[in-house]
Chains A and B, each alone.
Chain A
Amino acid sequence: MQTHDAKRVVITIEAVMESRLTDALQTADVTGYSILPVLGGSGRSGPWSREGQVSRAGGMVQVICIVHPDRLDKLLDAAFAVVERHIGIVTVTDCQVLRAERF
C-alpha cells in the first residue's frame, strides 16, 4: 500500500485554552484536528484528575493534528502564539498517511 509522509502534532493544553487554540489553527488553515479529553496526570504542580471537577479550570485536553510536512511551521507558529504562557506540551512526530491529499 502506498503511504505518504506527514507530521503528527499533539498539543496538550489547558481546557480553558481549547477554543483559542482551535481558532488559531483555523486561522493558520489547519482545519482538521481531533480533540481528546485528558483524564488526569501529573506535572510540575503535582498530580491532578478530572474526576469530580465541575470547572474546566483544572482540566487538560489534547488537540491532535496531522499535516503535510510543508505546513508544519505555520501550524507551530500559530500554536505557539497561544500556548506560550500556558501549561502544556507540544510534540511533533513523523507518521505515514494513506491519502496525502487530505492533509
Chain B
Amino acid sequence: MGDVLSLAADNLLSPLILFFVLGVLAAFARSDLTIPEAAAKALSIYLLFAIGFKGGASVAAHGVDAGLILSLVAGGVLSAAIPFVAFALLRVMTQLSTTDAAAVAGHYGSISIVTFVACSTALTGRGLDPEGYMVAVAAIMEAPAILSALWLVSRKAGGSQMDSGLWREILLNGSIVLLIGSFVIGAITGKEGLEKIASFIVSPFQGVLCLFLLDMGLVAGRGLRDSGKYLTPGVFAFGMLMPLVGSCFGLAAGMLLGLSTGGVALFMTLCASASYIAVPAAMRVALPEANPSIYLTLSLGITFPFNLTLGIPTYIAIASQVTGG
C-alpha cells in the first residue's frame, strides 16, 4: 500500500499530471486558454509517430519472439471481450438504455493511446521499460471493441449500421495507420534510425506530452462542466470501477504471457483505459442514437483522469508486486 501511495504522490506531482490539472482548472474557471484544433491534432500526430517509432526500434533491438504474436492475439481477444463485462456492469449499476450502455461498453474495450503513452513514460522513468511491441498491441486493441458494442446493440435493440465504409474508416483510422507505420519503420531502421531522429522524438517528447495533456485537461474540464448532468452516481462509479476491473484482465493476460513488469503494467493500463478518439467517431456513424455526452464525458472526464492520476501508479505497483520487479 505504501508503494502505491508513494508512486501516486510522485505521479501527482509530475509535470504531466500538473499540466492536465491546469487544463481542467482553466476549463472550470472558464479561462480563454485554448489549444487550436490544428495544433492539438499536430501534437497527437507527433506523439503517435514518436511512440510508434520508439516501440519499433525497441523490437529491432530485442528481436521478434512468440511473445509478440501471443500478445497481439491476447490484446485482440481482450478488446472484444471487455465490452461484454462493461455492458453487464452498466446494466447493473446504471439506468442507461441498451444503446447507450453498448456505446459506453465499446469505449472501455478499446484503448486510450495517451494513457498508454503516460504509462510508458512513467515506466521508463522508473527503469521498467516495457516490451517494445506493446505499441502494436495498443493498435490491435483499438477496433475489436467496436464490433462487440455493435453486436450488443443488434442483439438487444437492433438498429446498428455497419457498412464497409465504416470498417475501412476504423481499420485505416489515421491514428492506427501512423502508429503501425511508425512502428514498422522503427523496426526496420532499428537503433541507427532512432539515433538519427532522437533529437526530434526523444528529447522533446515529455514537453510535447505536457502540452497535449494540457489540451486533454481543457477538453475533459469542458466536458465535465457542460455535460456533468449526465453523470448519475451509478455512471460516475462505473467510470472509476471499470478501469480497475479491466486492469485485472490485463494483469492476468500479462502474467500468462510472461511479460516483464513494465509489460504487465502496460497491459493493465491498456485494458483499463477507454477510447476517446477512434470509438466515438465509429459510434457517431454506427449508433447515432447513443448520447455522445455520456460516453465522451465518462471516457475523457472520469476514466482518463482516474487512470492518469491514480490508476497508472496502482497498476505499476501491482505489476511490480506480482512479478517481483
Which residues of A pack against B, CB within 8 Å? 14, 16-17, 19-20, 45-58, 85-87
A16 touches B285 (CB 8 A): yes
17 sampled A-B residue pairs with Cβ under 8 A: A14-B288, A19-B165, A20-B285, A45-B292, A46-B226, A46-B293, A48-B226, A52-B36, A55-B276, A55-B277, A55-B281, A57-B280, A57-B292, A57-B296, A85-B161, A85-B288, A85-B289
Which residues of B pack against A, CB within 8 Å? 34-37, 40-41, 43-44, 161, 165, 169, 215, 218-219, 222, 226-227, 276-278, 280-281, 283-285, 288-289, 291-293, 296
Instruction: Closest A residue to B295 by CB, please name it.
Output: A57
Residues from chain B with Cβ under 8 Å of A50 in the complex: 37
Chain B binding surface SS class:
helix
Q: Name which of A50, A52, A56 has the most chain B CB atoms within 10 A of its CB.
A: A52
A58 touches B277 (CB 8 A): no
A55 touches B280 (CB 8 A): yes
Chain A binding surface SS class:
mixed
Residues from chain B with Cβ under 8 Å of A57 in the complex: 277, 280-281, 283-284, 292, 296
Docked Cα-Cα span, A87 to B287, in Å, equals 11
B165 touches A20 (CB 8 A): yes
Q: How far is the CB of B50 from chain A (nearest CB, A)?
A: 15
A45 touches B277 (CB 8 A): no
Docked Cα-Cα span, A101 to B165, in Å, equals 34
Residues from chain A with Cβ under 8 Å of B222 in the complex: 49
Q: How far is the CB of A37 from chain B (nearest CB, A)?
A: 8
